[in-house]
Every structure is written in structure tokens, then in C-alpha cells.
């Protein structure tokens, strides 16, 4: 484990810096997936169509990562492309991903591959998706086929991304496919299916690639805490939220994961009844999410104490079309991350969400999460100024004491780093 002196603003040697993407959000034309069907039926702000056209322009994405001096790129591979019909494997799609990963490696970066990032093959969804009894086995089989093909090009495997977000959006809120509302039983079945799927996928990857393959999963961790207004009696709500959003799923995979991908975007202020996103005065992102960098520290420390496993921060970022807040946001979050390392957590990397602007699910193309801006008419990529600031941090392996000096959030507050 890495230890750092308290006064040192550097990150541990070998700390991994990167950026993340996901197949459906960037590739375009993911026609055999349940998300494509959902969009074509008129759901969400826009259909994904060509997305960021990364299926064709992946080399430009890698060039962005290289230009920023990153050490790792995270992609996901698309199950609906690899197994467009049950049991029919598309080796051309696998070869495409092999090309991409070879491209990342030859640019001198490491690769992180996620096997499932919210989208399902349409045939899988039609037979009940993750609530069906056979789902974990089917996912295990798919994972084995992918692993056999891609082993040589993958440094970090992650099986599934954010079981909690998927269960919430697809089975409780109904804003993502399959569009169920208040189906709590369905959401619990999804947790079970994804946890079992993770376990089988990990076994399949290790069988194909060897025991030493590093297989983790990524999860967005909530930080429930008392809301400024009306939060005095929120302790039971905090316990409930921690259980629902964090422990209920993550405890199921305890003992069967090699590392944990911690993802964090915003906190969850609790009242006596409910979680109050609108609580209090705090800077906000373009999507209205609260900017509370301390939460990154809180979720890392909790995950570390509970699971004692290596942690990579595999997503953290914001929608910021004008790029006015991103540099401040990154610097403040990294200062809290560094404090977590100083306080004993074994955090080995930070991957920003996202490498490029992309299709933000039900919100469509409005929110701009990219280190590079995408022009959706020409599909050109342009590195944002905040990304250059991030690149300087990466190059120095340090958040210098004067980083983002004088910069505030849009509402005039900040910095929001820890007391050093």
C-alpha cells in the first residue's frame, strides 16, 4: 500500500491517471441493443444515432488520451454487437475491439475494459433481461468469449457498471429500459442477477486469461449525510440509503472481486424522510448536480474500511458545457482523493468521466462531460482548457498547492478542497 507524507502534494509513484468512456455512449449505431429500441420508441431527449461516431473515430479518441499524457483508457465492449443473436458470436466486432485496444497499447497507455455498461442485447432484454433466471449464465458465457479473444490486450477487467443506477433508472424511476416504475422486486432481482453475473464473469475471465487477471467492477457510491435543512433526524434515512445504494449490492460481491471501481458525482443529503437533492446552497453542474468534493473522500474511506481492496476511482466528472467549473472541480476532488490516500486508503488511480462528450442516456446530447468537446455536426474532437490543466496534474503527478488558484465555481464559491 502507498503511504505519503502529510505535507506532500504529490500522488504515489505509479498512480494511474486516465479517462473513461462507454460503448453505447460514444460508438453510434448500436442497433441490436435494448437502448436502441427504447430510443426508437421515442423515449429520452434524443436517440443516440451515431453518438460520437467512435466506432469509426476511435483512433481520434486515443489521440486525445495520448495528447493529455494519460496512463489508461477505459472503454466498454458492447454485448449487443458481440452476440447480436443468442449464441451467434460476431468475431468482426471482437476484432474491432482488439484493434481499439491494440491502438491504446501502442499509444503507450494501459487498457481497462468493462463488459457491461447498462445496455443489453435486444434478445436478452426480450427474455426478461437481468431479472430472468438464466441471465447470469448468459453473461458469464459472453464474458468468457470476450476474454478468450481479448486477454492479450486488457490490463484491467471490470465486469459490470453501477448496478444501483441501472436498477433505479430501469425498475424504479422507469426512465431507462425496461421502463418499469416502482418495481422494487424487479430491482432486487436485478441486483441478484448482476451480482451472480459478475461472479460468473470473473470466473470465466480467470479461466481464459489466468488467475492473475485483475477482475473488478465499478459502482457509484452514495454519500448520505444530514441535509443542512431538516436533516437533524435523518440518521435512520442515512442508514437506509447507505444500505440501498451501497451495501446491499456491494456486499454480495465481497470476496469475489479483485478491486473496486469507486465512482462519485454528487452527495445525497438526507432529511427525516427522503434524500433531498435540492438541499442547501452549493455550486451545481449543468445537470443540477451538487458539487461536493468531500464526498469523494467519504465514499473512498467507507469502501476502503468495509472491503479492504485496492480502489481505482473509475468515474468522477461533471456536465460543464462552458468549461467554467471543470478545472476547479478536478482539483478539489483530487485534493480529497489525495487525503484519502494519506489516511490509508489504497487508491491506485483516477479516471475522469469522460474522455469525450457523449450520449448521456435519457438526457441525450445536452450534458457535456468530456475532457474533449465533440462537435456533433462534424464529429471533430477538441481538447478543453480544463483538460490541459488536468494534463499538467498528470504530468507532474501532483496537484500543486497553487492549482486552480483564483478559480471559483459559477456561483462564486470555492475552493472546496480539504484543509491542508
Binding site for ligand BGC (CB under 6 A): 22, 25, 161-162, 165, 220, 315, 353, 360
Q: How far is the CB of 287 from ligand BGC (least distance, A)?
A: 7
Report the Cα 319 to chain-centroid distance in Å: 14
Report the Cα 376 to chain-centroid distance in Å: 23
Q: How far is the CB of 24 from ligand BGC (least distance, A)?
A: 9
Give a three-class secondary structure readout of the chain: CCCCCCCCCECCCCCEEEEECCHHHHCCCCCCEHHHHHHHCCCCCCCCCCCCCHHHHHHHHHHHHHHCCCCEEEEECCHHHHCCECCECCHHHHHHHHHHHHHHHHCCCEEEEEEECCCCEHHHHHCCHHHCCCHHHHHHHHHHHHHHHHHHHCCEEEEEECHHHHHHHHHHCCCCCCCCCCCHHHHHHHHHHHHHHHHHHHHHHHHHHCCCCCEEEEEECCCEEECCCCCCCCHHHHHHHHHHHHHHHHHHHCCCCCCEEEECCCCEEECCCCECCCCCCCCECCCCCECCCHHHHHHHHHHHHHHCCCEEEEECCCCCCCCCCHHHHHHHHHHHHHHHHHCCCCEEEEEEECCECCCCHHHCCCCCCCCEEECCCCCCEEECHHHHHHHHHHHHCECCCCCCCCCCCCCCCCCCCCCC
| Identity of the residue, 125 or 341, whose beta carbon is nearer to ligand BGC in the bound complex | 125
Q: How far is the CB of 370 from ligand BGC (least distance, A)?
A: 11
Residue 177, C-alpha cell as written in the block: 429500459
Q: How far is the CB of 359 from ligand BGC (least distance, A)?
A: 8
| Identity of the residue, 149 or 350, whose beta carbon is nearer to ligand BGC in the bound complex | 350
| Identity of the residue, 158 or 226, whose beta carbon is nearer to ligand BGC in the bound complex | 158
Q: How far is the CB of 117 from ligand BGC (least distance, A)?
A: 6
| Identity of the residue, 165 or 397, whose beta carbon is nearer to ligand BGC in the bound complex | 165
Nearest alpha-carbon partner for 161 in 130, 125, 128, 124? 130
The residue to which cell 464559491 is assigned: 413
| Identity of the residue, 238 or 263, whose beta carbon is nearer to ligand BGC in the bound complex | 263
| Identity of the residue, 24 or 189, whose beta carbon is nearer to ligand BGC in the bound complex | 24
| Identity of the residue, 221 or 353, whose beta carbon is nearer to ligand BGC in the bound complex | 353
Q: How far is the CB of 233 from ligand BGC (least distance, A)?
A: 30
Q: How far is the CB of 165 from ligand BGC (least distance, A)?
A: 5
| Identity of the residue, 220 or 276, whose beta carbon is nearer to ligand BGC in the bound complex | 220
| Identity of the residue, 71 or 370, whose beta carbon is nearer to ligand BGC in the bound complex | 370
Q: How far is the CB of 161 from ligand BGC (least distance, A)?
A: 5
Q: How far is the CB of 353 from ligand BGC (least distance, A)?
A: 5
Amino acid at each position: 500500500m502507498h503511504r505519503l507524507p502529510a505535507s506532500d502534494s504529490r500522488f504515489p509513484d505509479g498512480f494511474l491517471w486516465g479517462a473513461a468512456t462507454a460503448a453505447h455512449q460514444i460508438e453510434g449505431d448500436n442497433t441490436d441493443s435494448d437502448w436502441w429500441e427504447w430510443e426508437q420508441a421515442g423515449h429520452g431527449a434524443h436517440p443516440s444515432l451515431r453518438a460520437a461516431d467512435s466506432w469509426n473515430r476511435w483512433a481520434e479518441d486515443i489521440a486525445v488520451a495520448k495528447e493529455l499524457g494519460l496512463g489508461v483508457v477505459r472503454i466498454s465492449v458492447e454485448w449487443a454487437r458481440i452476440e447480436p443473436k443468442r449464441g451467434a458470436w460476431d468475431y468482426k466486432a471482437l476484432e474491432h475491439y482488439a484493434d481499439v485496444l491494440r491502438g491504446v497499447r501502442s499509444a503507450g497507455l494501459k487498457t481497462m475494459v468493462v463488459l457491461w455498461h447498462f445496455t443489453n442485447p435486444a434478445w436478452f432484454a426480450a427474455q426478461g433481461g437481468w431479472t430472468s433466471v438464466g441471465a447470469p449464465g448468459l453473461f458469464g458465457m459472453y464474458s468468457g468469449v470476450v476474454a478468450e479473444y481479448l486477454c492479450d490486450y486488457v490490463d484491467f477487467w471490470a465486469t459490470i457498471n453501477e448496478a444501483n443506477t441501472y436498477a433505479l433508472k430501469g425498475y424504479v424511476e422507469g426512465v431507462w429500459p425496461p421502463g418499469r416504475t416502482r418495481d422494487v422486486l424487479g430491482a432486487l432481482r436485478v441486483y441478484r442477477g448482476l451480482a451472480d453475473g459478475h461472479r460468473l464473469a470473473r470466473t470465466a475471465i480467470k479461466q481464459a486469461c489466468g488467475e492473475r487477471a485483475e477482475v473488478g467492477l465499478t459502482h457509484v457510491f452514495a454519500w448520505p449525510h444530514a441535509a443542512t435543512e431538516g436533516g437533524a433526524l435523518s440518521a435512520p434515512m442515512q442508514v437506509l440509503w447507505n444500505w440501498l445504494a451501497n451495501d446491499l449490492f456491494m456486499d454480495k460481491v465481497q470476496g469475489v472481486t479483485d478491486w473496486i471501481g469507486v465512482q462519485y458525482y454528487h452527495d445525497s443529503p438526507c432529511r427525516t424522510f427522503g434524500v433531498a437533492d435540492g438541499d442547501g446552497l452549493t455550486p451545481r453542474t449543468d445537470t443540477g448536480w451538487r458539487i461536493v468534493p468531500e464526498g469523494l473522500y467519504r465514499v473512498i474511506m467507507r469502501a476502503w474500511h468495509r472491503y479492504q481492496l485496492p480502489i481505482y476511482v473509475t468515474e468522477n466528472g461533471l456536465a460543464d458545457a462552458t468549461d467554467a467549473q471543470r478545472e476547479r472541480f478536478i482539483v478539489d476532488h483530487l485534493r480529497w482523493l489525495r487525503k484519502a490516500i494519506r489516511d490509508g486508503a489504497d487508491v491506485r488511480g483516477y479516471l475522469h468521466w469522460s474522455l469525450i462528450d457523449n450520449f448521456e442516456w435519457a438526457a441525450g446530447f445536452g450534458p457535456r462531460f468530456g475532457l474533449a468537446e465533440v462537435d456533433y455536426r462534424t464529429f471533430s474532437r477538441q481538447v478543453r482548457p480544463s483538460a490541459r490543466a488536468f494534463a499538467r496534474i498528470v504530468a507532474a503527478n501532483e496537484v500543486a498547492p497553487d492549482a486552480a488558484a483564483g478559480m471559483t465555481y459559477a456561483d462564486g464559491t470555492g475552493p472546496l478542497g480539504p484543509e491542508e
